[in-house]
Structure 1
Amino acid sequence: MQLSPKHKGASMAQTRVGFIGLGLMGQGMAANIVGKGYPLTVYAHRNRAPVEDLIARGATEAATLADLARACDVILLCLSGSPQVSEVVTALKPGLTPGAVLIDCSTSDPVITESLARDLAAIGVDFADAPLSRTPKEAWAGTLDCMVGATPEVFARIHPIIATWAGKIVHIGGVGDGHRMKLLNNFISLGYAAIYAEAIALSEKVGIPIARFDSVIRGGRMDCGFYQTFMACALEGNREAHRFTISNAYKDLRYLESMANDAKVVTSMASAAKNAFAYAMANGGDGAEDYVPHLADFTAKQNGSS
Structure 2
Amino acid sequence: MQRIGFAGLGLMGAGIASNILAAGHPLTALAHRRRDALEALLAKGAQEAESPRMLAQSSDIVFLCVTGAPQVAALVEGENGLVAGAHEGLMIVDCSTSDPALTRRLHAELAPLGVTFVDAALGGTPTQAEAGELQAIVGADEAILERLRPVLATWASKVLHVGPVGAGHTMKLLNNFLAMGYGAIFSEALTIGAKAGITPQVFDSVIRGSRMDSGFYRTFFQYVLERDRDAHRFTLDNAGKDTRYLAELAENLGVQADVAKAVKELYASAIAEGEGESFVPQLSDIVARRHGVSLSS
3-state secondary structure, aligned to 1:99: coil
Q: Letter of the 2:3 partner, please give it.
A: R
Report what 1:115 is aligned to.
Answer: 105
Report what 1:6 is aligned to.
Answer: none
**TM-score, normalization: structure 2?**
0.96
Residue 185 of structure 1: which of 175, 180, 198 is its match?
175
Report what 1:8 is aligned to.
Answer: none
Residue 197 of structure 1: which of 187, 193, 204 is its match?
187
**Alpha-carbon distance in structure 2 between the residues aligned to 1:127 and 1:179:** 13
**Alpha-carbon distance in structure 2 between the residues aligned to 1:122 and 1:145:** 30
Report what 1:168 is aligned to.
Answer: 158
Bigger relative contact order, structure 1 or 2, given CA contacts below 8 A and separation 6+?
A: 1
161-170 vs 17-26, which moves further: 161-170
Q: Letter of the 2:160 partner, please give it.
A: V
- Report deviation, 1:302: 2.2
1:61 aligns with 2:48: yes
Q: Letter of the 2:33 partner, please give it.
A: R
**Alpha-carbon distance in structure 1 between the residues aligned to 2:150 and 2:185:** 37
Report what 2:140 is aligned to.
Answer: 150
Report what 2:199 is aligned to.
Answer: 209
> Residue by residue, what CA displacement relative to the aligned partner does 1:22-71 show, whole Å, maximum 9, x if unpaired?
00100001001001111111111321100011112221111222111111
Report what 2:126 is aligned to.
Answer: 136
Q: Letter of the 1:302 partner, please give it.
A: R
Q: Letter of the 1:213 partner, please give it.
A: F
3-state secondary structure, aligned to 2:32: coil
Report what 1:298 is aligned to.
Answer: 286
Q: Letter of the 1:115 partner, please give it.
A: R
The CA RMSD measured in Å over matched residues stands at 1.0
79-88 vs 54-63, which moves further: 54-63
User: Which residues in structure 2 correspond to 1:244-255 (within 5 Å)?
Assistant: 244-255=234-245
Report what 2:258 is aligned to.
Answer: 268
Contact 2:190 2:284 in 1 (8 A): yes
> Residue by residue, what CA displacement relative to the aligned partner does 1:221-275 show, whole Å, maximum 9, x if unpaired?
1100000010111111001111111011101111101110111111121111112
Q: Letter of the 2:235 partner, please give it.
A: T
Residue 34 of structure 2: which of 25, 28, 47 is its match?
47
Moved over 3 A (4+): none
3-state secondary structure, aligned to 2:194: helix
Residue 70 of structure 2: which of 69, 80, 83 is its match?
83
3-state secondary structure, aligned to 2:211: coil
**Alpha-carbon distance in structure 1 between the residues aligned to 2:205 and 2:18:** 38
- Report deviation, 1:279: 1.5
Q: Letter of the 2:266 partner, please give it.
A: A
Q: Which runs of 5+ in 2 are unaligned?
A: none
- Report deviation, 1:122: 1.7
Q: Quote the sequence identity (%).
A: 49
User: How many aligned residue pairs are there?
Assistant: 291
Contact 2:10 2:32 in 1 (8 A): no
Contact 1:276 1:299 in 2 (8 A): no
